[in-house]
Amino acid sequence: MSRNIVRGSVPIFFWRVSGAGLAFVTQIMLARWMGAAALGEYVLAFSWLLLLSIVAGAGLPNAAIRFVGIGRARGDQAYIQRFANTGAIAVLVTSVCVAAVGALLISATSGLVPEALVAPLLIAMLALPFFAITSFYLGVANAHSWFSLSFIPNNFVRPLLFLIAVTVVWYWTSELTATRAMFLHLLALALVTVVSVSLIRVRLANLERGPMPRGELRLWLRTGVPLLVVTLVSNYFAELNVILLGGFLPSSDIAIFNASYRVALLVAFGLFAVDAFIAPELATLAAGDDKAKLQKIVMQATRLRTLGALVALVFFALAGRQMLRLFGAEFVVGYPALMLLTLAQLVHAAAGPGTRLLSTSGHQDVCLPVFGVALALLAALTILLVPRYGLTGAAMATFCAVACWSIGLAVMVVRYMHIQPSILSLLKR
C-alpha cells in the first residue's frame, strides 16, 4: 500500500509542483516588473478573491469527497449526480451574490480603501464566480479520483496561461500594474473554468439520474459549512495572513512576507499530493468503519509527509536566501520568516492528515473549536508581535497558530476516530 500511495501521489505531486513552479516564476517576474509595493496590492486583491470564493462555495467542494464517497460506497450513481447538479447551482447563485455585495461595498467605501486597491478588488469580485464554480467541479472530480481533471486545470493550466499573459503584456507595454495583473488573471481563470467544467460535466452526464429527496441539500450544506472553515484555515492560511497583515504592514512588506510564505508552501504541495491521493479511500474506509486498514494508510501517509518536510527544511536552510533573492534584493530580509514558516510546515506534516481524516469521516464539526482557537491565537499574536518585530513577528504568529491547529486536530482524530495520525505513534513502535 505504501508503494501505491507513492505511485498515486507522484502524478499529483508533479502537477502541483509544476503549477507551483509556474506560480513561483510568475511571482518572481511580477516582483521584478511591478516592484514590491504594486505586488503587495495585487497579492491583497487576489487573497480576497480566494477567500471570498471559498466562502461562496459554502464548503461544498470539500464536502464532495464525503458525499461522492458515500455514493460510490453504496453504488448509487443517482445520488452522486444529484449532489453534483444541485451543488453547482447553489455555488453559482451564492458566488454571484457574494461578488455583487463585495462590489457594492468596495464602491461605497472607496474613500476608505486605498485608491490603488479599488480597481484590483473590483476585478477580483468579477472573477469570484468563476473561481467558486471551478473549485466545486474540481472537488467533484477529485472525489471520483479523476486526478488529471481535478488538478491539471487549476494547478497547471491557469498559472501557465497567467504567466504567458503577463509576459506578453510586459514586453508589449513595459508596464504592469496590480489592476492589469488581476484582469489578466480573470481572463486565464475564465478560460480554465469553461474548459474544465465542460469536461467534467461530460463525464458526469454518464451517471444515472434520480429524483431529489427532501432535505438532502440541507444535509450537504450543514456538512459543508464546517468544512468551509476547515478549508479556509487549512488550505488558505497564507491568504488569511496576508489580509490580516494588511492592517499592520505596508504593501511592500506584505509582498516580502507573501514571497517567503510561498517558498515555504512548496512543502505543502507534497503534503497535498499525499492527502489528495488517499482522500477518496479515506472516505470509503471511514464509511465502512475499517479501522485497521485506515490506520495503516494514515501511518504510511504521515511517514511520507514528514520525510518530505524534513528534506525541504534542510534545503531552505541552505538555499533560502538565494531563492528569495530571485524576487529581488529587497526580499532577502524575509529569510528568518521563511525558516519559521517552513518549520511550521514540518510540524503540520508530522501531525498527520488530521484535516482529511476528520472531514472525510463526518467529524468536521470538531475541527471548528480547534481552528477557532488557532485563528484567535493568530490575531492576538499578530497584534502583539508584528508592530514590534515586523516580518519575523508575523512568521512567529503564523508558526504558533499552525502548530496549534495541527496538534489540536491530531488530538481530535485520536479522540473521535481512534486512529493515531502523528509521527509520534511511529516513534513509539
Structural domain boundaries in the chain: 2-427
Res 426: pLDDT: 53
What's the pLDDT at 114?
Answer: 78
**For residues 306 and 350, is the Cβ–Cβ distance under 8 A?**
yes
Of the candidates 343, 339, 353, the one whose C-alpha atom is nearest the C-alpha of residue 400 is 343
All three cell numbers of 229, joined, read 472553515
Cα–Cα distance for residue pair 116/99, rounded to 1 Å: 19
User: Could you count the other beta carbons within 10 Å of the beta carbon of residue 44?
Assistant: 26
| Predicted pLDDT of residue 23 | 79
- Cα–Cα nearest to 337, from 253, 252, 239, 235: 253
pLDDT at 115: 80
Q: What is the pLDDT along the chain (429 residues), one digit of tens a residue?
A: 445 544 545 555 566 667 777 877 888 888 888 888 888 889 889 989 988 998 888 778 877 777 777 777 677 677 778 888 888 888 899 999 999 999 999 888 766 777 888 899 999 999 999 999 998 988 888 777 776 777 788 778 888 899 999 999 998 888 888 999 999 999 999 999 999 989 888 888 776 665 555 557 676 767 666 667 777 776 777 788 888 888 788 888 888 998 898 888 877 665 655 655 565 566 666 655 666 777 777 777 777 778 778 888 888 999 999 989 988 888 999 999 999 999 998 888 888 777 777 766 666 677 778 888 988 999 999 999 999 999 999 999 999 999 998 898 888 888 877 777 776 655 555
Nine cell digits for residue 101: 455585495
Contact 367, 214 (CB under 8 A): no
Give the single-character DSSP code of 76. -
d(CA 163, CA 6): 30
CA-wise closest residue to 209 among 88, 89, 84, 65 = 84
Radius of gyration of the CA atoms of the chain, in A: 21
pLDDT, residue 183, reads 95
Angle ∠(36,41,44) on CA atoms, nearest 5 = 120
